[in-house]
Structure 1
Amino acid sequence: MFKVTVSILALAIAAPALAQAAAGEDDQIVVTAARAPQKLDEVGQAMTVIDRAEIEARQTVSIADLLSTTPGVTVTRNGGLGSLTSLRIRGAEAEQTLVVIDGVRVNDPSSPGGGFDFANLLSSSIERIEVLRGPNSVPWGSQAIGGVVNIITQAPTDRFRARARAEYGYANSAFASAGVSGGTGPLALSLTGGYLDSDGISAAADGRERDGYRQYGANGRATLALTDAIGIDLAGWYAHSRVGLDGFPAPDYVLADTADYAKTQEVYGYAGVHANLLDGRFRNRVAFTIADINRDNYEPAFGTDPSFIGRGRSERYEYQGDLRAAGPVRLVGGVEHETSRYDDGFLKRSVGITSVYGQAIVQPIRALTITGGVRHDDHQRFGGRTTFGADAALALATGTTLRASYGEGFKAPTLYQLYSAYGNEALRPETARNYDLGVEQALVGGRMRIGATWFHRDTRNQISFRNCADAAECADYPFGRYDNIQRTRAQGIEFAIALRPVDALTVSGNVSYIDSRNRTPGAAFDLDLARRPQETAAVNVDYRLPFGLSVGGTVQMVGDSYDDAANSVRLDGYALASLRAELPIGDRLSVYGRVDNLFDADYRVIAGYGTYGRAAYGGIRVALD
């Protein structure tokens, strides 16, 4: 698989690459690295940016499927669309990725590891995704050990805009979304709604019953300018989802068809005031955010009441200042307090954490940007923790950008890990240290970009579930408990290439080699971490014909991995291919279609759980400006 990928990228490099540079790529603005706007060539950390144009070109419905083709990222799903979907960055645990939507941290306090379930994240309103790979706890705090996925939805606009999309395909899958934005005077608004209904596939690989999925949701943003320098910002997100599940029925207690299902309701909100003082050189923001997730599982065989409930809620108060001081110095810092709540119907708990952080961004010369920062978190349960981070980016006139970074990660134990029936109130926070070195080169007037990044991360005090080891321990914890028992190491290299030989053709590809290992003394020492393939690769090609028809395809390749920590259950590698096309009809309407898993590959990402075979979809898209 690895050799095939390298061959494909070599062919892409050999494509004719002439003409003018793609305008504006060096001036691209990102906000995730320092939690403040920066040019991408001023960032010393490894990042991938996905914009709305790429989301639409790929005809994306599930954001997780799109993210799975980015460097250093792997995704697993417990069956069909809507089932538990976990994203891992550079071999870190899925729960060690911080997810942010419109400034709101959306990781679920009621889930065992506090992770975000990507199952219900659809593309209806998403304008931009920034993926930062590697620990970044200085600006973002707890949970950013593996990295940060920052989701930004459609921003309000001054003039009226509208767009809509509807498609139908495999398994009676129907997806529709519509959005409008506009403004009047000092007020600007955007609103998007979406609906998805699908018969799905069987969650159990050997099952015959389809486990369907349905979601309806909406989100919006608003800005109100009180003066030229002061304004109010609001954002809200709502999604209600229902997915069929398979369980482990008696007498065999193996994964099989059942009538189980789950419902999830997600509500996220942001309310803030910004004040840009000193002619815009001193930007201030005060905000309140809330994330509220309700999960209910049902087993009809045992009645109509939920068999499990999870209620997770986090409330955060935050201030951030961004001062462009005299000369080459910029200071970014803030103060935050977050309260997280957990309720499983039997136990209610809450915990608070107060944080202060500061960063200095210095440009001693125009080509060199150096960033350094420190953060201190004071956790109600285990006390204080200080983390550091630093990075540098050197953007030369030759088109070469050199990057280096050191980052520390920090993750507080979740309420479930501390207080549930399996909890341990003596837990310590997980920590990580990461080193990055990267280089990117622009060639042929910017129409070709190639890059490589090496990284190394060590994680300590990783929290894992431990079964009781002796009679005394079993008396206190008969079903086991969580403990700081694991050390892990991940290291590897990521390659990426982007080509635009002519305006009508774009080619991009990436190859990642990630060696993720258990470094805990004992029987599992130096074994591969579960569900972490060492090799992944993806190639995307899109071409627009002179009469407007766009055609494209994606090839994604994933190497072998193991389903368990003991490395006893092997998951074979696989390759997936997809084709897509879109034809405009006039200036406002287009029709499109795609075929996923073109060659009907039979593969597994989790042992025993089903995956989609060949599937075709078709739809229409409307845009009004």
Structure 2
Amino acid sequence: MKSFILIALSMLFPTYVIANQDSTTLDLGEITVMENRMEIPFNKISRNISVIHRKAIETTPARSIQEILAFTPGVDIRQRGVSGVQANVGIRGGSFEQTLMLINGIKLTDPQTSHHQMNIPVPVQAIQRIEVLKGPGSRIFGQNAYAGAVNIVTSLPETTSLNIQGFGGDFGMRGGHLISSLPIGKYKQTISISHDASEGHWYNSDFKVNNIFYESGFDINKKNELNAMIGYTDRKFGANGFYTNAFPDQWEAIETYLTALTHSFRDNQFYLQTRGYWRRNVDEFRLRRNEPEFFTNNHISDVMALELNSTYTSSLGVSGLGLEARQEKIESTNLGNRERSFLGVFAEHRIEFWEKFDARAGIYSNYYNEYGWKHFPGAEIGFQANKLSRLYTNFGTSYRIPSFTELYYEDPSNLSNPNLLPEEAWNFEIGWKLNRKNLSSEVVYFHRATDNLIDWTRIPSDITPNPNRWTPGNISSVQFNGLETSIRYSVNWGSQKAKLNELSLSYNYIQADLVQAEGMESRYALNSLRNQIIAGMQAEFMGKAELTIKGRHVERMALDPYFLLDARLDYNRIKPVGFFLEASNITNAEYIEAGFVQMPGRWFKAGFTLNVNK
């Protein structure tokens, strides 16, 4: 209870921060969310979407995308170690397998396991904004967006720039990045290189992460544009407690490759986008780091896809149509050689009527070679009471097929279940949001009725570590009900010497009728959020120093609650030479987010930035 009071009285944290520029002023009209087909201004969307803008990304006390998302209401980040070396992302009580990650609309689906979905080759400093869709996204993105989706958006500057950062900290942490933009006429291009490493905060938790990301765009003419992305990430880490506590010397090495080519055509009322992409994940996992002959898994998974998305605007509204074809393959010493194919068709329409009302309805039909056709309808209705206030409601269905790991993986700690059924859900949401010049707030209620929820369970044991193996299975039916509230206020109190810029607060509650089966332990389902309070403040001193403080109270269904307090101080952040200090877990809390990994206590980081712009 003390944690609740401390957060409520000391600081407030944003649900979403919307301005695309580096500013504390809220301007929702400047953001347009592109959901693969339709472009809709943020303030006309009838969904609960959080947008994390550039300034928030830079000033959040975090070293990774995962850590930044941890401060987003309704998003549950379960990290294994620091700096996001591996983390699970859940939304509204959903598991990491039920969340879809995207880069500029390109899906990062991993058929082996969504543990690897966050192997993202983009350095944090190269991200323009992050869009978080809460609730079912199957009608928009397909079957993987079961409980929500996260889209990472980068940009191609039209001016030459160079950004260099270096940092160091506790646990032998060190690293940095180089990001360069070099446009040549109509050809825009950006390259990003980053390195993060640490000796680890406890036994066998060291890591090295290297990322390379190249993006380019070329305006062929006024109507046609080409964009390309190439990314590579290499991650090697000690995995003590990641998947089991029976083998503290676990070790893993992962390489992820991503390439994508996109063509866009725009002519008055008609928009057409076609793209193809390929993602490869190479995973080597050892139960004993220095004894690969004892037990080693090697997996190579490939995802190849083609997509077509289009919209047409007429006097009757905006119509959208999309097609996608995707093939997923894996070659594995444990899972065997597997492959599966998907075909999807999207159709939707949006209209505005009676001056203040708008409606959007559509359906996604998916064909999977093992389960046949599945259909996911959905609809949204919005009422713009005035320029500042909006009421909305929506409903939709969602669907997720099991991963190859759930179906076929086995080792001394885990058993597979090839008889798993796909997860299905029916979702409903109703909300209200207020957006004024300096104030934004939102209240949302959601309901999700889930069938065939997949969880890993095992029989308890008096022996430590537990010798019984985890096995995935379908839980018959689970009801989720949740309440999300938030408020953000750009106060701008004080003078140039000391000014309080913004205060904000969010509270999320999730009630699930899921109970642990008698005589069984749950690995994932009972770790979902129950209560979440996120709060923060940002202040400015002498026009040069910015202080950001953020706190979280997290309570999951079957784990002890904990409170975390983090802070970051930036000096000359957007100047040619800047410095920063970060303090994580200031309250020195003891907590576990995922697996059996004891997260670190209080720790510190410091670094510098160099900015060159022409």
- TM above 0.5, one fold? yes
1:103 to 102, 105, 112: 105
Q: Is 1:223 equivalent to 2:205 in the alignment?
A: no
CA displacement 1:90-134 (0-9 Å, x = unmatched): 1111100011112321131112x6862469875142221101111
Q: Is 1:180 equivalent to 2:180 in the alignment?
A: yes
CA displacement 1:551-590 (0-9 Å, x = unmatched): 121111112531xxxxxxxx32111112221111893111
CA displacement 1:580-621 (0-9 Å, x = unmatched): 211118931111111111121222224742111111111111
1:302 to 291, 298, 316: 291
Q: Distance in 1 between matches of 2:172 and 2:322?
A: 49
In the TM superposition, residue 453 of structure 1 has moved relative to its aligned partner by 0.6
1:449 to 440, 445, 448: 440
Match of 2:230 in 1: 236
2:454 counterpart letter in structure 1: I
Structure 1 residues 378 and 57, CA gap change in structure 2 (3 angstroms): same
Q: Note if contact 2:7-2:551 (Cα within 8 Å) is conserved in structure 1.
A: no
Structure 1 residues 162 and 460, CA gap change in structure 2 (3 angstroms): same
After the TM superposition, which residues 82-97 of structure 1 pair with which residues of structure 2 at under 5 Å, given as runs? 83-97=85-99
SS in 1 for 2:66: helix
Q: Note if contact 1:401-1:441 (Cα within 8 Å) is conserved in structure 2.
A: yes
Q: Note if contact 1:519-1:526 (Cα within 8 Å) is conserved in structure 2.
A: no
Match of 2:281 in 1: 293
Q: Distance in 2 between matches of 1:586 and 1:538?
A: 27
Match of 1:554 in 2: 550
Q: Note if contact 1:509-1:538 (Cα within 8 Å) is conserved in structure 2.
A: yes
Structure 1 residues 456 and 121, CA gap change in structure 2 (3 angstroms): farther
2:350 to 361, 384, 395: 361
Structure 1 residues 406 and 101, CA gap change in structure 2 (3 angstroms): same
Q: Distance in 1 between matches of 2:567 and 2:291?
A: 44
Match of 1:52 in 2: 54
Q: Note if contact 1:261-1:297 (Cα within 8 Å) is conserved in structure 2.
A: yes
In the TM superposition, residue 261 of structure 1 has moved relative to its aligned partner by 1.8
Structure 1 residues 535 and 599, CA gap change in structure 2 (3 angstroms): same
Q: Note if contact 1:284-1:320 (Cα within 8 Å) is conserved in structure 2.
A: yes
Structure 1 residues 528 and 467, CA gap change in structure 2 (3 angstroms): closer
CA displacement 1:116-172 (0-9 Å, x = unmatched): 24698751422211011111111211111110011112x222221221211111112
Match of 2:539 in 1: 543
Q: Distance in 2 between matches of 1:303 and 1:10?
A: 49
Q: Distance in 2 between matches of 1:198 and 1:184?
A: 38
Structure 1 residues 600 and 442, CA gap change in structure 2 (3 angstroms): same
Q: Note if contact 2:568-2:581 (Cα within 8 Å) is conserved in structure 1.
A: yes
1:410 to 394, 399, 409: 399
In the TM superposition, residue 395 of structure 1 has moved relative to its aligned partner by 2.6
SS in 2 for 1:55: helix
SS in 1 for 2:528: coil
Please give the TM-score of this superposition, normalised by the length of structure 2.
0.87
Q: Is 1:169 equivalent to 2:169 in the alignment?
A: yes
In the TM superposition, residue 53 of structure 1 has moved relative to its aligned partner by 1.0
In the TM superposition, residue 248 of structure 1 has moved relative to its aligned partner by 11
Match of 1:16 in 2: none
Q: What is the root-mean-square deviation of aligned Cα atoms in Å? A: 3.2
1:320 to 309, 321, 329: 309
SS in 2 for 1:530: helix
SS in 1 for 2:58: helix
Q: How many residues align?
A: 584
% identical aligned pairs: 17
Q: Distance in 2 between matches of 1:313 and 1:483?
A: 26
1:130 counterpart letter in structure 2: E
Q: Is 1:463 equivalent to 2:458 in the alignment?
A: no
SS in 2 for 1:4: helix
2:328 counterpart letter in structure 1: S
Q: Is 1:492 equivalent to 2:488 in the alignment?
A: no
CA displacement 1:278-313 (0-9 Å, x = unmatched): x3x211111101111111013245346971122221
Q: Is 1:580 equivalent to 2:568 in the alignment?
A: yes
Match of 2:319 in 1: 331
In the TM superposition, residue 175 of structure 1 has moved relative to its aligned partner by 2.1
Q: Is 1:129 equivalent to 2:130 in the alignment?
A: yes
1:360 counterpart letter in structure 2: H
SS in 2 for 1:508: strand
SS in 1 for 2:601: coil
Structure 1: stretches of 5+ with no match in the other structure: 14-19, 203-208, 469-477, 563-570
Q: Distance in 1 between matches of 2:289 and 2:595?
A: 25
Moved more, 1-10 or 71-80: 1-10
Structure 1 residues 302 and 371, CA gap change in structure 2 (3 angstroms): same
After the TM superposition, which residues 351-430 of structure 1 pair with which residues of structure 2 at under 5 Å, given as runs? 351-397=340-386, 399-418=388-407, 427-430=420-423
2:240 counterpart letter in structure 1: D
SS in 1 for 2:513: strand
Q: Distance in 1 between matches of 2:110 and 2:12?
A: 43
Match of 2:427 in 1: 434
2:124 counterpart letter in structure 1: S
CA displacement 1:216-270 (0-9 Å, x = unmatched): 1111211122221112111121100110122699xxx954643x32111011121
In the TM superposition, residue 547 of structure 1 has moved relative to its aligned partner by 3.4
2:129 counterpart letter in structure 1: R
SS in 2 for 1:534: strand
Match of 2:70 in 1: 68
Q: Note if contact 1:94-1:115 (Cα within 8 Å) is conserved in structure 2.
A: no
Q: Note if contact 1:110-1:343 (Cα within 8 Å) is conserved in structure 2.
A: no
Structure 1 residues 12 and 245, CA gap change in structure 2 (3 angstroms): closer
Please give the TM-score of this superposition, normalised by the length of structure 1.
0.86
Q: Distance in 1 between matches of 2:94 and 2:205?
A: 29
In the TM superposition, residue 37 of structure 1 has moved relative to its aligned partner by 2.0
Q: Is 1:506 equivalent to 2:502 in the alignment?
A: yes
SS in 2 for 1:578: strand
